[in-house]
Amino acid sequence: MLDRRLVSNFDWTFIAAVLALMAAGLTAVYSATYSMDGGRHGLFVRQGYWFIAGFAVMLGAVMFDYRRLARWGYVFYGIAVVLLIAVMAVGRSGMGAQRWLPLGPLSFQPSEVAKLALILMLAKFFSEDGVTNGHTLRQLARPLALVMVPVLLVVKQPDLGTGLMMLFIFCGMVVVAGIRVKSFLTLAVTGLLAAPLAWSVFWGHLKDYQKKRILVFLSPDSDPSGAGYHVIQSKIAIGSGALTGKGYLNGTQSQLSFLPERHTDFIFSVVSEEWGFVGSLLLLLLFLFIILWGIETANKAKDRFGAMVAVGIVSMLVFHVVINVGMTLGIMPVVGVPLPLVSYGGTSAMTTLLALGLLFNVNMRRFHLFY
């Protein structure tokens, strides 16, 4: 449990940054859902409850020594895979995908939790495989195979965004765990050569709307009222915010519903429209601070497992932010990736806060001696 020495290691600026991000998120959700359910602010209130619960979970994730989790790495992974299979069997559908598991009056997305399980599993794997001078392809085969199981299950839902996110987290962790330059080049070259083949197979398995999204990303004006609508309206929303924004709750693109998915995937556009370049920049800086703080945590971690957990969580945050914001800015394809702690969504909020708790846990125990 927590002793005084640990408390003295608390980094209050990080807590403040997380709270600031949560406040920004709630503010954004309030605006994005302002004109939605007849002014009852149901989603906003619900997100508030999720945040309270999530913050408790985050504090809970600080209480114990993270090293104890290493033992459970594969177990978490196993549970996640089982849950993903369960989703396929009994999951609830929404927005054209089967992503949710009913949980009493609530429902949650196992794919979100699976990301975290994957991080713990990979952290355990890379911290114990004893390879410090770069992995060979052969050495990476096993973890890749382990990663592909949940990835395929998630893509099958279909949730392309989360699937890609898992692969990106894997890549991030592999890069830090080390990969031989030769292996990397081989992988890159074969990847490039195999791409057309893989593409045709991959393309064939995509749903129509997924194909459309990719095509539209390549040329958004080809279908301005259909699939390109999201991106165009998002760019209009962000651009029209200009330097200082239109003012809180005054975003015409947001409040008049021109912006689709505005409380989830496109919430950054709402913020940008109403707060302008200044507000958007502040939000990005907040993310940047937390991310750099996470990297510093990895740098100071006392053991390989802690460092790899931190790297995994940082990768998760970085890719979520870059892909989500890039998508709203029209420089990334439209894949359903939430902006952590800002997009509406209970499971995502819980997972993110849990991850940040773990990060904090690693950071806090960086000076702690092993007994």
Provide the binding-site residues for another protein, judged by CB under 8 A. 127, 132-133, 172, 175-178, 225, 233, 235-243, 252-253, 256-258, 272-273, 276-277, 280-281, 284, 288, 291-292, 295, 298-304, 307-308, 311, 314-315, 318, 322, 325-326, 329-331, 366-370
List, in order, residues 6 or more apart from 297 with CB less than 8 Å away: 310, 359, 362, 363, 366
- Shorter beta-carbon distance to another protein: residue 99 or 115: 115
Shortest distance, CB of residue 358 to another protein, whole angstroms? 17
Q: Quote the strand ranges of the chain, DSSP E.
A: 92-94, 97-103, 106-108
Contact 161/327 with Cβ under 8 angstroms? no
Alpha-carbon distance 236 to 272, whole Å? 10
Other C-beta atoms closer than 10 Å to the C-beta of 247 total 12
Shortest distance, CB of residue 42 to another protein, whole angstroms? 20
- Shorter beta-carbon distance to another protein: residue 83 or 121: 121
The Cα angle at residue 203 between residues 197 and 205, in degrees rounded to 5: 115
- Shorter beta-carbon distance to another protein: residue 206 or 322: 322
Shortest distance, CB of residue 345 to another protein, whole angstroms? 21
Residue with tokens 């074969």: 190
Measured in degrees and rounded to the nearest 5, phi and psi for residue 131 equal -90, 115
Q: Identify how many contiguous H helices and E strands the chain contains and give both numbers.
A: 14, 3
Shortest distance, CB of residue 99 to another protein, whole angstroms? 25
Shortest distance, CB of residue 97 to another protein, whole angstroms? 22
Shortest distance, CB of residue 92 to another protein, whole angstroms? 27
Length of the chain in residues, anyone? 371
Shortest distance, CB of residue 302 to another protein, whole angstroms? 5
- Shorter beta-carbon distance to another protein: residue 87 or 237: 237
Shortest distance, CB of residue 139 to another protein, whole angstroms? 14
* Buried/exposed code over 155-188 (b: 16+ C-beta within 10 A; e: otherwise): bebbbbbbbbbbbbbbebbbebbebbeebeeeee
Task: With residue 298 as reference, give the H or E element that holds it.
Answer: helix 267-300
Contact 312/328 with Cβ under 8 angstroms? no
- Residue 197 class from Cβ within 10 Å (0-12 exposed, 13-18 middle, 19+ buried)? exposed
List, in order, residues 6 or more apart from 282 with CB less than 8 Å away: 275
Shortest distance, CB of residue 287 to another protein, whole angstroms? 8
- Shorter beta-carbon distance to another protein: residue 145 or 369: 369
- Shorter beta-carbon distance to another protein: residue 136 or 240: 240
- Shorter beta-carbon distance to another protein: residue 111 or 255: 255
- Shorter beta-carbon distance to another protein: residue 65 or 303: 303
- Shorter beta-carbon distance to another protein: residue 88 or 175: 175
Contact 113/162 with Cβ under 8 angstroms? no
In this structure, are strands 92-94 and 106-108 parallel, antiparallel, or unpaired?
Answer: unpaired
